[in-house]
Amino acid sequence: MISFWENKHFLTYDYLIIGSGITGLSAACSIKELEPNASVAVLERGLLPTGATTKNAGFACIGSFTEKWHDLELMGEDAFLQLIEDRWKGLAKLRSRLGDPQIDYINNGGYELLFANQHISQAQLQHMNGLLKKIFNQDVFKTDASLIQAFGFNKQMVSNVVVNPLDAQINTGKMMRALYRLATSLNTYVATGAEVVSIEESGSGVNIFVKNPLSFEPILFKANKVAVCTNAFTGKFFPNLEITPGRGQVIVTQPVDDLKVKGVFSFDEGYYYFRNIDNRILFGGGRNLDFEGETTTEFGPNQKILDTLSFYLQEMILPGKEMKIDQQWSGIMAFGKNKLPLVQKVSDHVAVGARLNGMGIALGSKIGEEIATLLVNG
Ligand SMILES: Cc1cc2nc3c(=O)[nH]c(=O)nc-3n(C[C@H](O)[C@H](O)[C@H](O)COP(=O)(O)OP(=O)(O)OC[C@H]3O[C@@H](n4cnc5c(N)ncnc54)[C@H](O)[C@@H]3O)c2cc1C
């Protein structure tokens, strides 16, 4: 049975946020910035955040050239530029909110590896740089084949490198600890092990039923307004929203002697990505090898993809070097057809901020801000 104290001090809020990834915690901070006296709580089903944010690669980036080219064709100029600007603003918000030293923001640049069958023309580079100048006031992409040798890649496999000096890396673990510290310092209550099983509008507010591990009866939380920041897992509550889950596989090597790789790297339109972390390589991706198998909300390995990651790691990224894989994990992202995130009200008192399309480090703070504004002003 719920006590008088629990009822009065733990279960009723002005704002409840479901999900404690970067979007949920950012939304909590933004609500407190907009309405400092509001009572805010975050409900997280895992003991740790258990979606994409603490599983990701830590690329603080606007993305690779071939991925951008594909996006431009898919979205058209206006939506494309808007998305890039949102990513840049989201990164600026994250950095100013938490501070670069707290998240280990390091700008070693971004690099895309091209294969012999991939050719980028000068006209394409100029067109893309011309468009992006509207945002960055500088050329963003250039090619530099001398980097193949400088980074120690296999010359038989890599034919050129596209450089993007704006892309950077962060330490995802430190970023999430810093965001958690900020949210709680703003007097947000973060409950972990709190899986929301249903959300029901009730007159002037919302009833949220949370699984109670110690009883068959769920615990009822109440709020005036609710932000659903459950990304790939949002379909459980709102099956009609266009949100497709996508699992991502990641490996990390043991420390590598004399590691030349420094920065954030990608190939195959961003489907594969790797970076240095300490003196190791973190390498992820390959979802396009098995779209069907990876369209899932279940965590777990995919052997075909892991074998391919090992192959590229040994043969292309670290040719001739001794390397051992130390750790492996997966995370679950959320995708939509047009690459745009989804921020919308789904009922009078409930809004969703989700579908970050694999760009959450850049977009998470911005989407958190947008959902907070929607709820506070709506
Ligand atoms: C392998 C991998 C690599 C990536 N690399 C990068 C990268 O380098 N750069 C980049 O910008 N982006 C990257 N991304 C994408 C980025 O991590 C996501 O876009 C971002 O983390 C999404 O944040 P979120 O808070 O919206 O969702 P999530 O981090 O998924 O958070 C949702 C939270 O909701 C919780 N939840 C779900 N259901 C319930 C429920 N019923 N009750 C309570 N809580 C619930 C989950 O446990 C989870 O903690 C990567 C993602 C993956 C998986």
Buried/exposed code over 141-161 (b: 16+ C-beta within 10 A; e: otherwise): beeeeebbeebbbbeebbebb
CA distance 309 to 313: 6
Which residue has the CA at smallest separation from atom 35 of ligand 1? 19
Positions of the chain with pLDDT under 50: none
* 372, part of any domain: yes
Other CB atoms within 10 A of residue 191 CB: 16
252 within a domain of the structure (yes/no) = yes
Give pLDDT, residue 1.
86
Give the C-alpha distances (Å, rounded to integers) separating 296 from 13, 100, 211, 332: 33, 34, 23, 8
- Domain-located, residue 76: no
**One domain for residues 233 and 138:** no
Residue 222 lies in a domain: yes
- Ligand 1: list residues with CB < 6 Å: 18-24, 43-46, 49-53, 55-59, 195-196, 229-233, 248, 250, 284, 331-333, 354, 356, 358-362, 364
359 in the same domain as 309? no
CA distance 183 to 190: 8
**Ligand 1 center to 360 CA (angstroms):** 7
Q: How far is the CA of 126 from the centre of ligand 1 (A)?
A: 34
Residue at 87 is within a domain: no
Distance 51 CA to ligand 1 centre (A): 4
* pLDDT confidence of residue 378: 81
| Whether 165 and 309 share a structural domain | yes
Q: 253 C-alpha to center of ligand 1: Å?
A: 23
CA 289 to chain centre: 21
How far apart are alpha carbons 292 and 276 in whole angstroms? 30
What are the φ and ψ backbone dihedral angles of 366, each rounded to 5 degrees?
A: -70, -40
Which ligand 1 atom is the nearest neighbour of the CA of 22?
A: 25
**Ligand 1 centroid distance, CA of 260 (Å):** 30
Q: Say whether both 250 and 222 belong to one domain.
A: no
pLDDT attached to residue 203:
87
DSSP 8-state symbol, 57: -
Same domain (yes/no): 111, 141: yes
Clarify whether residues 308 and 296 are in a common domain.
Answer: yes
Closest approach atom of ligand 1 to CA 333:
53
What pLDDT does 204 receive? 87
Instruction: Kindly report the protein residue whose alpha carbon is nearest to atom 31 of ligand 1.
Output: 21
CATH number of the structural domain spanning residue 312: 3.30.9.10
Q: Which atom of ligand 1 is nearest to the CA of 49?
A: 49
Confidence at residue 189, expressed as pLDDT on a 0 to 100 scale? 98
The domain spanning residue 48 has which CATH number?
A: 3.50.50.60
Its domain, for residue 139, covers 102-170+243-335
Assess whether 15 and 119 both reside in one domain. Answer: no
Examine residue 191 and state whether it is found in any structural domain, yes or no: yes
Residue owning the nearest CA to atom 22 of ligand 1:
360
Residue 23: strand, helix, or coil = helix
Same domain, 325 and 195: no
Look at the chain and report how many structural domains it folds into: 2
331/183 same-domain check: no
- Give the nearest ligand 1 atom to 361 CA: 11
Question: Residue 38 domain-assigned?
Answer: yes
Q: Which residues pair with 332 in a beta bridge?
A: 247
290 and 188 belong to one structural domain:
no
Angle ∠(365,368,370) on CA atoms, nearest 5: 110
From ligand 1's centre to the CA of 358, what distance in Å? 9
Same-domain status, 251 and 329:
yes
Q: Which of 18, 53, 59, 197 to mutate to test the pocket of ligand 1 (most atoms within 8 A of CB)?
A: 53
166/189 same-domain check: no
Q: Dihedral sign for Cα 65, 70, 73, 78, please.
A: negative
Instruction: Supply the pLDDT for residue 127.
Output: 97
Three-class DSSP labels, 243-311: CEEEEEEEEEECCCCCCCCCCEEEECCCCEEEEEECCEEEEEECHHHCHHHHCCCCCCCCHHHHHHHHH
The reply to whether the predicted model has a pTM over 0.95 is yes
